[in-house]
Amino acid sequence: MFTATLRGMLAHKLRVILTTISIALGVAFVAGTLILTDTTQSAFDQLFGRASSGTDAVVRHEVAYAATAGVGLTRAPTPAGTLDKVRHVHGVAAAEGIVTGYALITDTEGKAVIASGGAPAVGYTMPDDVTLRGSVHLLTGHAPTGAHEVAIDATSAASHHIPLGANIRLLFRGPAAKFTVVGTVGFGNEKDFGGTTSAYFAPATAQRVLGAPGLVDQIEVRSDGTITDAVLAERIGKVLPHGLEAVTGATLAKESSQAIKNQFAFLSVLFLTFAGVALFVGSFIIWNTFTMIVSQRTREIALTRAIGASRRQVIGNLLAEAGLLGVVASAVGVGLGVLVAKGLNNLMAVLGFFKLPSASTQVQPRTIWVSMIVGTLVTVVAALVPARRATKVLPIQALREATPGAKAPSRFRAVAGALLVSGGVAGILDGLYGGGGDAPVFLGMLASVVGVLTLAPVVVRPLASVIGAPLRLRGVAGDLARQNALRNPRRTASTASALMIGLTLVVAMGVFGSSLKASFATILHDSTNADLYVTAAGNQGGPFSPDVEQLVRSVPGVAVASATGAGEARFDGTSAAYSSVDPSTVQRALNLKVTSGSAAALGTDGVMVKGAVAKEKGWHVGDRVPVEFAATGSHSFTIRAVYDGTGFLDGDFAISLAAEEANVPNRLETSVLVMLDDGADQGTVKSAIAATLATHPDAEVLDRKEYAKAVGGIIDSLLALVTVMLLLSVVIALLGIVNTLALSVHERTREVGLLRAVGMTTAQVRSMVRWESVVISLIGALVGAGLGLGLGAALAQVLKGQGITEVAVPGVNIGIYVVAAAVAGVVAAVGPGRAAARVDVLKAVVTD
Amino acid sequence: MTTTTATAIGPGQAPIGTVAARALGVSKVYGRGDATVRALDDVSASLYAGQFTAIMGPSGSGKSTLLHVLAGLDRPTSGSVHVGDVDLTSLNDRQLTMLRRDEIGFIFQSFNLLPTLTAAENIELPIRIAGRKPDALWIRSIVELVGLGDRLRHRPAELSGGQQQRVAAARALASKPQIVFADEPTGALDSRSGADLLGFLQRAVRTGGQTVVMVTHDPVAASYADRVLFLADGHIVDEMSDPTADTVFDYMKHLGG
């Protein structure tokens, strides 16, 4: 039996190739994601491992809880005096106090050196002990020693043409200062540290500019080699005052690496989601292929049944074919996965999200077997239904001259589909307007999609009639194309469904993104009273020094300069994002919609809570809430205000800038809202602020329109990422169209031959196939666009509470997608159309 | 085109006595070397306008190949073929297609109809392929002639084999071709349906002035023709005018078919 399987596959090369590609692409995405994830992890492991390779133990302040916030995890500083104690521990060869902090490099023209993808700008102490420097080494020049010397990473130096000896300004949390570049630094083989910009200072200088004199962030220790690192850490721990801890260098490296990895984890989830979509779309093509295989082989199957094959053997044979196809395709997919991983990495870099440190591509055994199993399983499962249908072939059918008939979709399908769709819509409406909450909305969305997929074969006839109506103008070729598309509604439906899914998602994301964009302008308008906004330059860099606020306030014409920051703390035991605000001005600058209490009363131990959270927790103004900061531990805060204003502020909690200052070392600010004096000219003030900020290239001033546009730009690049990912599914769907057309042409060889005999030109034959393809694509595209519109709008509506204020439809984009789908249909028809035009008239028509 | 007589019968027909199609020294060779098969070997023949010609011969005699070559469905290895005054061997694929569409009607043994189209749509197919409007009056007269009046809205699957072949015949005539080629048109029919179809073709020739060329191996079918050409081993070996089933049958026995 298996030989027959192999022969059967080889006999239909095109079909096998197309199906293989459609599975392989999905698997490649899975494998690529896993490879990229592993490569990223390995890259960061290596980076941090090498960086701390010379450090055997670290002394640092304990934190109240290990926040997942990542690299910049804020710990309280350690007194430099502890150094002496540590140095006297037996087994310590060297110990140095290290300070880390915000340090933005500017170039010789005063422009900020901003790392791509929002990587931080960090300043460090350069240890005197060469071993403690780990992989950090000087590529040119010498280590900084004086109070005005700095060494910078080689990437920054090269990209901004900063030569040795250059006199450049560095921006800190505190006052900026001028430094002479005395060296460039490399990190192992890398020229930068995972995309960040790095500035190195002599120990005393670092304390002054990055932290505070007499305080260090941690103490790095080199062992004399007589004891293990663990023992070393233990010995040091014994001499430390309460509140400090000693850990091994390896622990530190692992923690740092893990923190970064957590930040990238969402990307793996995101990519795997797209991989899932691609596989789902691919499964439609597999389903189609096997349905065709079964219908074409009806006589062959009947013959094997007639000569004694059991039903079990028939289904086993087909599933073996599916399994073989799955294994081969998955193997191809794993191979392609390496390319996909590289492609995704480049895509991220191009779209400005992040740049990975280079590392050898990691293809783990786990990647291979997961991809193989997933790909094979999807293939076999998708082939299951058609294979079961094959068992219904009766032996007698071997004797009949039966053309594979297209069964009309069942009534059950129509009813089930209609019920699902109407139930789904009802759920969405109930959730949105009937107060049913979010759950019915999401369930309703799912039900609608499943319902539409179920209903597809039923509605494909009327749809094709409508969509194909203009084809009358194309004469008989167009007419036949429309009828051919209608001939096998199930096949047309499943082919179109594959495309539909891709378009549904692309359009839904488009609607969601546009709504987000449109909403942001409204949010700015509704939720802030500011005339001007000072934000991170180019929306790329991180937050900036609180000095910026002072500078802006001093500009003539500025009435109010209200700064905001953001961070993470534990409120009532749960980690949550908070905003920090200026209590005296925040209610003027923002429409906070305070329902009770006042933001002005925040003080250093007050918290302002969103109405929804307060309601849920039963909190009222005057209640006390435990708030825990990583650096300073637990405090009892008092609720001073409850507010409903959505939009501008992050999170459900707000504290004062002063409270943040007291609990978060080296806090930074993210924006300054500027209100003008009466009669001040906005343009003039804006120019004045811009001029003042010349010394702070990490911040820029924007008016409302510019700010909304800048945020829109970020949403756009996110959307671009999502769209590119989803396009893969669309490509797979197009392969499905090629597959279906190729099979249709194959099935209709005799018809094509007859048409050619009675005078249809090859051009007309090609046009007939082309229009059939366009009808199928348009069904998929239009249903997908419609469904996507609905789902996107529903999604935007659900998130109304979270800041989305209006639903916007990117009509032009959707139009482009639909037209592109039609064009893609034309392209998909090229091959099958050629095949149809090549049909040998005589062989097709003459009965021997 | 040597002789011309002035009596034109029926729309678009060539005058009686004219040569409607002609093969001149036509050979058709399949394969190469030892495997060479000469399906046609230097065949010359003229088919006259307004006549019902049958081509007969035992299987393997090359009769179907001759029909295909004459109808522009296949190209001869050597020699020339004319339909009307057009030399088919000088035409490219597109020109040949146009010629089939506009000047030639076909009836095959089976699979003559597109399953998605109704009988009426199948009949009008070549005209619609050409992008022309069907001549309603003419179509109606053909439909009446083949007796399909009440079946026009049916699809092929809902028609009997005989009805399907009559639809095919109607289609072959619908575009008013110069010449209709029929390849074993009754081969898949019972004798009664076959007789109906042959009677219809005969009427189209006798009263409509149509030119019909039919390949058959059935002496009864051949007896409907005005003239029979006998083929054996790729050569035209004889011809017979006003045949009857008996005379054809006898001759065929003599040929060893």
3-state helix, strand, coil in chain A (%, to 5): 60, 15, 25
Burial of A344 (0-12, 13-18, 19+ CB in 10 A): buried
Is A480 close to B130, i.e. CB distance below 8 A?
no
Orientation angle between helical segments A2-11 and A311-350, nearest 10 degrees: 50
For residue A171, list its beta bridge partners: A104
How far does the CA of residue B113 sit from the closest CA of chain A (Å)? Answer: 8
Kindly state the percentage of chain B with pLDDT values over 90: 28
Token couple for B227: 């003239």
Return the closest-CA partner of residue A744 out of A389, A491, A462. Answer: A491
User: Quick one: DSSP state of residue A173?
Assistant: S
Is A475 close to B131, i.e. CB distance below 8 A?
yes
Is A483 close to B74, i.e. CB distance below 8 A?
no
For residues B217 and B56, is the Cβ–Cβ distance under 8 A? yes
* Angstrom distance (rounded) from CA A264 to CA A742: 42
pLDDT digits (tens, 9 = 90+) for A231-247: 999 999 888 888 888 98
Q: CB-based contact (8 Å) between B158 and chain A?
A: no
Which helix H or strand E contains B21, and what residues bound it?
strand B19-30
Instruction: Say which amino acid occupies A724.
Output: V
Instruction: Write the CB contacts of B150 (distance below 8 Å, at least 6 apart in sequence).
Output: none
Which helix H or strand E contains A329, and what residues bound it?
helix A311-350
pLDDT class of B51 with cuts at 50, 70, 90: very high
3-state secondary structure A474-512: HHHHHHHHHHHHHHCHHHHHHHHHHHHHHHHHHHHHHHH
Return the closest-CA partner of residue A761 out of B89, B12, B129. Answer: B129
Q: Which residues of B19-41 are buried (b: 16+ CB within 10 A; e: fewer)?
A: bbbbbbebbbeeeeeeeeebbbe
Give me the count of residues in chain B: 257
Instruction: Say which amino acid occupies B30.
Output: Y
pLDDT class of A646 with cuts at 50, 70, 90: low
Chain A neighbors of B74, CB-CB under 8 A: 842
* Angstrom distance (rounded) from CA A722 to CA A727: 9
Q: CB-based contact (8 Å) between A846 and chain B?
A: yes
For residues A674 and A692, is the Cβ–Cβ distance under 8 A? no
Instruction: Write the CB contacts of A83 (distance below 8 Å, at least 6 apart in sequence).
Output: A95, A96, A97, A216, A219
Instruction: Write the CB contacts of A706 (distance below 8 Å, at least 6 apart in sequence).
Output: none
> Which whole number is the average pLDDT over A406-424?
81
Is B108 close to A846, i.e. CB distance below 8 A?
yes
Token couple for A830: 């090229």
User: Quick one: DSSP state of residue B15?
Assistant: P
Which helix H or strand E contains B113, and what residues bound it?
none
Q: CB-based contact (8 Å) between A473 and chain B?
A: no
Query: To the nearest whole number, what is the mean pLDDT of chain A?
Result: 84
pLDDT at A112: 83
Token couple for A484: 């051919």
Virtual CA dihedral for A589, A594, A598, A600, nearest 10 degrees?
Answer: -10
Chain B neighbors of A759, CB-CB under 8 A: 97-98, 100-102, 126, 129-130
Q: CB-based contact (8 Å) between A408 and chain B?
A: no
Token couple for A453: 């997929």
Which helix H or strand E contains A285, and what residues bound it?
helix A249-296
For residues B174 and B123, is the Cβ–Cβ distance under 8 A? yes
pLDDT class of B23 with cuts at 50, 70, 90: very high
Q: How many CA atoms lie within 13 A of A707 on its CB side?
A: 26
Is B128 close to A757, i.e. CB distance below 8 A?
no
Is A756 close to B97, i.e. CB distance below 8 A?
yes
Taking the alpha carbons at both ends of chain B, their separation in whole angstroms is: 34
Chain A neighbors of B126, CB-CB under 8 A: 758-759
- Of A131 and A805, the structure prediction assigns the larger pLDDT to A131
For residue B28, list its beta bridge partners: B40
Instruction: Write the CB contacts of A23 (distance below 8 Å, at least 6 apart in sequence).
Output: A279, A282, A286, A325, A326, A329, A330, A333, A375, A378, A379
For residues A192 and A113, is the Cβ–Cβ distance under 8 A? no
3-state secondary structure A109-157: CCCECCCHHHCCEEEEECCCCCHHHCCEEEEEECCCCCCCEEEEEHHHH
pLDDT digits (tens, 9 = 90+) for A175-215: 888 999 999 999 888 888 877 889 999 988 998 888 888 88
3-state secondary structure A260-284: HHHHHHHHHHHHHHHHHHHHHHHHH
For residue A703, list its beta bridge partners: A532
> What value of ipTM does the predicted structure carry?
0.87
- Sheet hosting strand B227-232, strand order edge to edge: B104-107, B179-183, B212-215, B52-56, B227-232, B235-241
pLDDT at A6: 66
* Angstrom distance (rounded) from CA A511 to CA A809: 5
Give CA separation, A132 vs A57, A143, A203, in Å. Answer: 10, 13, 13
- With CA atoms as reference, the chain A residue closest to B100 would be A759
Q: CB-based contact (8 Å) between B93 and chain A?
A: yes
For residue B229, list its beta bridge partners: B55, B239
Report strand pairing: A136-141 vs A197-201.
Answer: unpaired
For residues A9 and A17, is the Cβ–Cβ distance under 8 A? no
For residues A440 and A744, is the Cβ–Cβ distance under 8 A? no
Chain B neighbors of A755, CB-CB under 8 A: 114, 125, 129
Q: How many CA atoms lie within 13 A of A719 on its CB side?
A: 20
Is B126 close to A758, i.e. CB distance below 8 A?
yes
> Which whole number is the average pLDDT over A645-662?
85
* Angstrom distance (rounded) from CA A521 to CA A648: 11
Is A759 close to B126, i.e. CB distance below 8 A?
yes
pLDDT greater than 50 at residue A70: no
pLDDT digits (tens, 9 = 90+) for A194-205: 778 899 999 889
pLDDT class of B168 with cuts at 50, 70, 90: very high
> Which whole number is the average pLDDT over A50-72?
71
Q: CB-based contact (8 Å) between A764 and chain B?
A: yes
Kindly state the percentage of chain A with pLDDT values over 70: 92
The number of beta carbons lying within 10 Å of the beta carbon of residue B208 is: 19
> Which residue of A750, A755, A757 is in closest CB contact with B73?
A757
CB pairs under 8 A between A and B: 75
Cα–chain center distance at B226: 14
pLDDT class of B143 with cuts at 50, 70, 90: confident
pLDDT at A315: 84
Return the closest-CA partner of residue A77 out of A510, A622, A664. Answer: A664
In this prediction the pTM is 0.76
Is B101 close to A845, i.e. CB distance below 8 A?
no
